[in-house]
Amino acid sequence: MGEQARARKVLVLNGPNLGRLGSREPDVYGATSYAGLVEECARLGEELGFAVDVRETNDEGELIRWLHEAADGSLPVVINPGAFTHYSYGMRDAAAQRTAPLIEVHISNPYAREEFRHTSVIAAVASGTVAGFGIGSYRLALRALAEELGG
């Protein structure tokens, strides 16, 4: 076969304020910029056989629409819901409709931070959660997806 196997599409979805990586509280979120995160996810995704589509929004409705897109297309998802993690039941309900693995990620460890961050409405409907490893949380989540998908 002259054609390479088509890479499996994976959505990496990011909620509010994640576009400010590198300048937003670097002591908590690290010095890697959002562009650096996108590059890292694309590089590792290619290595794992994924076509990674990294997106970021400050709009809850847009994030919900992306989760619907993933459910309708049976697309695996890595999601960092940002602050929506703690209270967006609409996003939780959209994530519950998943038809492929969905992994929740957090750059920091929410349990080592303010008490309001200790609750995730997404965790109960996710395949798993990776938190506290900086940008490495995304790498771990992509590797977990590859394993989950048998790749």
Planar angle of CA 111, 115, 119, nearest 5 degrees: 70
Q: Render pLDDT for 104-115 as a digit per residue (tens, 0 to 9).
A: 999 888 776 678
Q: Let me know if residue 77 belongs to a domain.
A: yes
- State pTM to two decimals: 0.86
**pLDDT above 70 (res 134):** yes
Q: Let me know if residue 1 belongs to a domain.
A: no
Percent of the chain predicted with pLDDT > 90:
66
**pLDDT above 80 (res 6):** no
86 is in an annotated binding site: yes
Q: Let me know if residue 98 belongs to a domain.
A: yes
How many domains are there within the chain?
Answer: 1
Amino acid 4: pLDDT: 44
Q: Render pLDDT for 41-100 as a digit per residue (tens, 0 to 9).
A: 999 999 999 999 999 999 999 999 999 999 999 999 999 998 889 889 999 999 999 999
Q: Let me know if residue 99 belongs to a domain.
A: yes
117 is in an annotated binding site: yes
Which residues are part of the catalytic machinery? 29, 106
Q: Let me know if residue 2 belongs to a domain.
A: no
| Average pLDDT in the chain | 87
What DSSP line would sit under 44-106, residue for residue? HHHHHTEEEEEEE-S-HHHHHHHHHHHHHHT--EEEE-GGGGGT-HHHHHHHTT-SS-EEEEE
> What domain range includes position 34?
8-148
- CB proximity list for 61: less than 8 A, separation 6 or greater: none
What's the CATH code of the domain at 74? 3.40.50.9100
